Structure formats: C-alpha cells, structure tokens
Amino acid sequence: MPDRGHSEPGHRGPPLSVSSTDPLADWRLAEEPFYQPVGEEIAGFEAARAARLPVLLKGPTGCGKTRFVEHMAWRLKLPLVTVACHEDLSAGDLAGRWLLDGEGTRWMDGPLALAARHGALCYLDELMEARADTTVLLHPLADTRRALPLERHGELLHAHPDFQLVVSYNPGYQGLHRELKPSTRQRFVALGFDYPEPEVEAAIVAREGGVDAELAMRLVRLAVRTRRLREEGLDEGASTRMLVHAALLHRAGLPVRAAARQSIADPLSDDPQLAPSLRALVDASF
C-alpha cells in the first residue's frame, strides 16, 4: 500500500483562483503506482491515446481498473483528475460554477472543465451511476469537436491537446438498472477487464499484502470459490482487493481464518443463506 502523502493539518487546499502556478498540482501522482498487466490493455490504451479517442473500461469491482488508469497517467506523465459518479452529481458539479466573493461572482472550473482546459486525463468512475445530464455533457468532448459548452460561463471550451477522457463501469452490476445510450457508447473505444489468472492474482496479493506466495495462492483459491456463488445469488465474488485486505489483517496479527472472515466472508453478504456459506468456505480453506 503505497504512501501517497497527506495534507498537513491546517492546510486548506489550493486557493480559489485556478490561474495560479499549477492548477493541476493536486492531481499529479507522486510516485509510480504498482500495476500488473493482465493482457493487451496497455497497447490498447496507447493506441486510443495516439488518436485521442475516449476510453471505456468495463469490469467487476476491485479488479484493478482504477489502478490501471493511475498507471497509465504515470506512464504518460499526465495529471489524473478522478470523479466518482453518482446520481446526485450534476452537470454543474462537473462543468463548474459561479462563486460569490467580495468582488462579485467568480467562475470556478469543475473537474471536467479543469482537465479539459489544462490537459489532464479525466477519469469518471462508475459512469453508469451518473445522471443523463452528466453523460450528455461528455458528448461534444468525446467526439471530434473535443469541446465542452459551458453554458453558464458563456464559453465553448476547446479541449487542450493533452486532454483525454476515460470512464469505467461494472457491466455485472446495475444499481439503478440504467443503461448507457447508444449515442454515448458509440463515442468510446472499450477495454474489458476481469480478475487476473490465479498465478498473476497471487503475485499481486503477495506483493500488496506482504504475505508469502503460498498463503496468497490459498487466498486466491478461496476467492475463486466465492466467485462461483454468483450463480446462487451473490452480487459479486471476492475481489483482489479483498484478498489484499485479508493478507494485511493477517500481517497485523490476526489468525488467517479470522482475517479472512473479517475481510472476505462478512463484508460480502448479509443474506441468511449466503453468509453461512461464505463462512463455511473460509473455514474449509484455513
């Protein structure tokens, strides 16, 4: 778990004015994020990057989509502006808004406008959760126009040449049973993600969780079993992230079984049928 630094107590973030030295300073990565490639995703992303085409990442939770985007931002030496989408995120939150101070109203770019204006990767996580106005706002940025109409600012913002749009969602889970419209989908190229092969996944768990290869592999085998429970109604099986959690709890002193219960079985489900099955899987594994 890389140390990413933190704000000094008392630090209150960048001043309002975005025209100061580096408006994207908060969003530059301080060190290289560990990422283990699982296929041709890096080549695919780089081809899309060359043509400045927007990219859609599809895959289950906790399989590394966010880490992959961080990795690509590091490789491309680009700042990374991340937005977690949800149903109450308005187009105004993304585009920007007017603030009032003693000298009148002042415009503050939202994260999407900030990234487009100054040339960052803009990553919208869980796009399927966003409202219609948020996704439609992306359309003119995501085709050859590469422009963001800021109606409320009276500006048509032409994107910086370094700007690129990346979005993700989990096709296996649909909170509000939404769908992306064809006119949105067809503006993106897509990269599919899935859980890595067992050997690759165990290497990740060993490295990120600080445990030996054998325990890592036993955790991966447990995860594979939980993923089969989807057929019995479990929303999703254990992700790689959960395995890392189990390893970290064990390193912090918990017995493996208690660590796996606490990080895998108990968070996964409250269902009266599934919860005991998950506990039994843990007990059979350790």
- Tell whether residue 43 is a contact of a second copy (CB under 8 A): yes
Structure tokens at 6: 């933190």
- Does 221 contact a second copy by CB under 8 A? no
Q: How far is the CB of 201 from a second copy (least distance, A)?
A: 15
DSSP-derived 3-state class of residue 156: strand
Q: Between helices 213-228 and 198-209, what is the axis angle to 10°?
A: 120
Among 35, 56, 215, 256, which residue sits at the site for a second copy (rule: CB under 8 A)? 56
Q: How far apart are CA 212 and CA 220, in angstroms?
A: 13
Q: Is 5 an interacting residue with respect to a second copy (CB under 8 A)?
A: yes
Count, residues near a second copy per rule CB under 8 A? 129
Q: Where are the beta strands (DSSP E) in the chain?
A: 55-58, 80-84, 96-101, 104-109, 121-125, 147-150, 155-158, 164-169, 189-192
Cβ at position 125, least distance to a second copy in Å: 7
Query: From the CB of 102, what's the least distance to a second copy, in Å?
Result: 4
Nearest to 61 by CA among 170, 191, 223: 170
Taking the complex as a whole, the smallest distance from the CB of residue 67 to a second copy amounts, in Å, to 8
- And the tokens for 155? 């500006």
Nearer to a second copy, 127 or 202 (CB): 127
Amino acid sitting at position 175: G
Q: Decide if residue 21 touches a second copy (CB under 8 A).
A: no
The reply to whether 227 sits near a second copy by the rule CB under 8 A is no
Which residue of 122, 187, 193, 256 would you call a contact of a second copy, by CB under 8 A? 187
Q: Which of 32, 190, 194, 283 binds a second copy (CB under 8 A)?
A: 190
CA distance 260 to 250: 8
- H/E stretch holding 273: none
d(CA 31, CA 275): 39
User: Angle formed by the axes of helices 240-251 and 198-209, to 10°?
Assistant: 40
- For a second copy, the binding residues in 80-119 under the rule CB under 8 A are 82-91, 93-94, 97-105, 107-111, 114, 117-119
Piece in contact with a second copy (CB under 8 A), picked from 42-50, 193-201, 211-219: 42-50
Output the six-digit token pair for 18: 């975005």
Query: Which span (55-63, 199-207, 211-219) binds a second copy, by CB under 8 A?
Result: 55-63
**What track of x and - describes contact with a second copy for positions 120 through 149 (by CB under 8 A)?**
-----xx--x-xxx-xxx-xx--xxxxx-x
Distance, CA of 11 to chain centre: 26
Q: Nearest approach, Cβ of 144 to a second copy (angstroms)? A: 5
For a second copy, the closer CB: 97 or 200:
97
Residue 112 C-beta: closest distance to a second copy, Å = 9
